[in-house]
Amino acid sequence: MVRKYAIPELDAIFPDLDVFARSRQLIIVESKDIVKECRESITAAHSANAAIPGNQEDALKEAQEKAEKAGEILKKLQKRMKSDYGRFWSQDLSEFFLNAEQEVVEAFSTLAVIKQEEIPPRDIPFRIQDPDSYLKTKTTVKVSDLAYIFGLLDCVGELKRVIMDSLNRDDSDFAKNVFIDMQELFKKLEPLTQFSNSFHYLKPKIDAARYAVNDAKKSLK
């Protein structure tokens, strides 16, 4: 026999689960566009780095625009989740944002190193199109701690390719500068190995980044 007091509880749970399910589905769909823009940004950034100096501007511009588009989609999605889901959206839905957020970190960070700029913080600054004008205004999009770590570890892997492409165009000085950035970044990330048992995929990502650093080091000898 189901006691009457259980029924109101179920009536309250169903709407909550419905909001959760619809939010999850929207994040999955929007994340595909975010990942696409990020990967196209990274591809353009590598194309710029592989090009002869003087012929890099268009590819760098494309890489920046693609990264900013990804940041814009992510920011709008986060804002919608805050509105539709409520104040606990970042806690309850963080695992569904993880892939998109780490790709955004990877794209902006890879581009920053190629442009010899500072790697962005967790609250990533970028420019967004002002709907009331043709100008772009400054804004930021914040990612989770884990997404930031994963994105930076993936960036370390991308920097190996940057170094190889730089060597192929006979720019060993730039390759060495990128390696210094790569090595310093990994030095900051490697101690996180101690948390490997707490987070899936952390150890494999750290191992992959370590391999990339060692491989890049050999290529510079």
Give residue limits of the domains in the chain. Answer: 6-219
Report the mean per-residue pLDDT for the chain.
91
CATH number of the domain located at residue range(s) 6-219 in this protein: 1.20.58.2140
Cα 177 to Cα 179: distance, rounded to the nearest angstrom? 5
- Would you state the pLDDT for residue 129? 79
- Would you state the pLDDT for residue 5? 58
Residue 163 near residue 218, CB atoms below 8 Å: no
Which has the minimum average pLDDT: 2-6, 32-36, 97-101?
Answer: 2-6
Cα 174 to Cα 53: distance, rounded to the nearest angstrom? 11
**pLDDT for 60 beyond 80:** yes
Tell me the pLDDT tens digit for each residue of 67-100.
999 999 999 999 998 888 877 777 888 899 999 9
Residue 143 CB partners (closer than 8 Å, separation 6+): 97, 101, 102, 104, 105, 122, 124, 151
Residues pairing with 128 in the sheet: 137
Helix (H) or strand (E) run with residue 201 in it? none
- Would you state the pLDDT for residue 17? 85
- Would you state the pLDDT for residue 4? 57
- Taking residue 220's Cβ as centre, other Cβ atoms within 10 Å add up to 12
Supply the DSSP symbol for 52: P
